[in-house]
Amino acid sequence: MQFIDLAKQQSFIKDALDTRIQTVLSHGKYIMGPEVKEMEAQLAEYVGTKYCVSCSSGTDALLMPLMAWNVGPGDAVFTTPFTFIATAEVIQLLGATPVFVDIDPKTYNISPDLLDAAINTVINEGELNPKAIIPVDLFGLPADYSAIEVIAKKYDIKVLEDAAQGFGGQIDDRKAGSFGDAASTSFFPAKPLGCYGDGGAIFTDDDDLYEKMVSIRVHGKGGDKYDNIRIGLNGRMDTLQAAIVLEKFTLFPNEVKLRNEVAAKYNELLGDRVVIPEVAEGYTSVWAQYSILANDAVDRSNLQAKLKEAGIPSAVYYPKPLHQQTAFAHLELKDGDFPVSEEMSQRIFSLPMHPYLEVVDIEKICDVLKG
């Protein structure tokens, strides 16, 4: 059994993919070719934003809006410690200070109440300038944007949605990728909408931000790439990868439905042996991961061992919250500072999840866990 079955997905679009790839090989516009614009237009329409700017990875998709907003030394950027390193890494790369805020124990996403309190504390301390919030749509479930957008307005700071796992999710009829001032996603192969390499995109309605990011993407170009008006990146997405996303995107809306059917079956069959994920009224998850809670770390390693013995892969996202990572030791945060993230990192694990997971496999997984 596979944790994510990309080969199965490929079998549905093999011929169309080959044609797409051959088309790129024929026109030879490997960098910023027509497929890049075509993909950006389709994804912006799907998300419902004015712009989509493709780029080289989900990490650069987080970096580029922060660069455009001139985030740097002296700035505080608020985010969750229960995420992939990239979310906070980009803050540190620009010399700004990541300020971690603990998560809600039910959604694993940043807690709006604690966020408000953390911004207040930074303002009262008077050392850092609160500049932006990066909420993460962890495991495919959008963060609580109705509360976060109110807080952002109150303190007049930017919101950058990290939708690397969230693309395809929604709250009511608003799609992930449309929240905040800008949103970033990733096309890393294992993400809900992946390519066959690295890629990413930023979504926004903001004309000024769009102009700046298009410039940052190509070495801070002005009129052309040999007129450089700011420091930028080599941040482009390959034409070949855009062609692959375009073809995979034809399956995507149905895959979101299939992922939700897989999650519903898990929820039904797992009973109360483990804590199953909760999705609040109005929210749709894209189930980048199907994550459950064991009683404690010992229970988790027993359950994972039983799965492994039965040939079933499982994974832990994330075994160590970011405030406990060596890379952030300079922040001088302590064990116990973010108790919910710390507890979840001990208890959480993820089961195989992809649109084409068969019911018999789900039954087998749940039987092993309950056995």
Which residues of 136-244 form beta strands (DSSP E)?
Answer: 158-162, 170-171, 174-175, 182-186, 200-204
CB nearer ligand PLP, residue 228 or residue 325: 325
CB nearer ligand PLP, residue 99 or residue 160: 160
Total number of residues binding ligand PLP (CB under 6 A)? 15
Helices 58-68, 86-93: axis angle to 10 degrees equals: 40
- Choose one: 82-90, 219-227, 255-263, 273-281; the region binding ligand PLP (CB under 6 A): 82-90
Give least dist CB 144 to ligand PLP, A: 16
**Residues in 330-359 that interact with ligand PLP by CB under 6 A:** none
| Residue of the chain from 54, 79, 80, 83 that contacts ligand PLP (CB under 6 A) | 83
Q: Is the peptide bond before 318 cis (omega within 30 degrees of 0)?
A: yes
Q: For residue 111, give the DSSP letter.
A: P
Is residue 217 within 8 A of residue 40, CB to CB? The reply is no
**Residues in 231-270 that interact with ligand PLP by CB under 6 A:** none
Site mask for ligand PLP (CB under 6 A), range 148-187, x = bound: --------------x-xx--------------------x-
DSSP calls for 190-231: TSSS--SS--EEEEES-HHHHHHHHHHHBTTBSSSTTSB-S-
- Choose one: 52-60, 115-123, 141-149, 343-351; the region binding ligand PLP (CB under 6 A): 52-60
Q: Is 107 helix (H, G, I), strand (E, B) or coil?
A: coil
Give least dist CB 184 to ligand PLP, A: 7
Amino acid at 151: I
Give least dist CB 255 to ligand PLP, A: 18
Q: Does 279 bind ligand PLP (CB under 6 A)?
A: no
Is residue 20 within 8 A of residue 243, CB to CB? The reply is yes
Question: How many residues belong to the chain?
Answer: 371
Q: Does 142 bind ligand PLP (CB under 6 A)?
A: no
Distance CA 97, CA 76 (A): 5
Distance CA 215, CA 220 (A): 5
Who contacts 339 (Cβ-Cβ below 8 Å, separation ≥6)? 102
- Choose one: 83-91, 175-183, 220-228, 353-361; the region binding ligand PLP (CB under 6 A): 83-91
Sheet with strand 283-284: strands edge to edge:
174-175, 170-171, 283-284
Q: Does 289 bind ligand PLP (CB under 6 A)?
A: no
CB atoms within 10 A of CB 14: 10
Give least dist CB 353 to ligand PLP, A: 14
Give least dist CB 103 to ligand PLP, A: 13
- Choose one: 14-22, 56-64, 108-116, 117-125; the region binding ligand PLP (CB under 6 A): 56-64
CB atoms within 10 A of CB 177: 30
CB nearer ligand PLP, residue 58 or residue 142: 58
Give least dist CB 190 to ligand PLP, A: 8
Is residue 157 within 8 A of residue 119, CB to CB? The reply is yes
Is residue 109 within 8 A of residue 80, CB to CB? The reply is yes
Who contacts 9 (Cβ-Cβ below 8 Å, separation ≥6)? 248, 251, 255, 354, 355, 356
Q: Does 57 bind ligand PLP (CB under 6 A)?
A: yes
- Choose one: 78-86, 248-256, 297-305, 350-358; the region binding ligand PLP (CB under 6 A): 78-86
| Residue of the chain from 136, 245, 286, 307 that contacts ligand PLP (CB under 6 A) | 136
Q: Does 291 bind ligand PLP (CB under 6 A)?
A: no
Q: Does 86 bind ligand PLP (CB under 6 A)?
A: yes
Who contacts 57 (Cβ-Cβ below 8 Å, separation ≥6)? 186, 188, 198, 199, 200
Q: Which residues bind ligand PLP (CB under 6 A)?
A: 57-59, 83-84, 86-87, 136, 162, 164-165, 186, 188, 198, 200
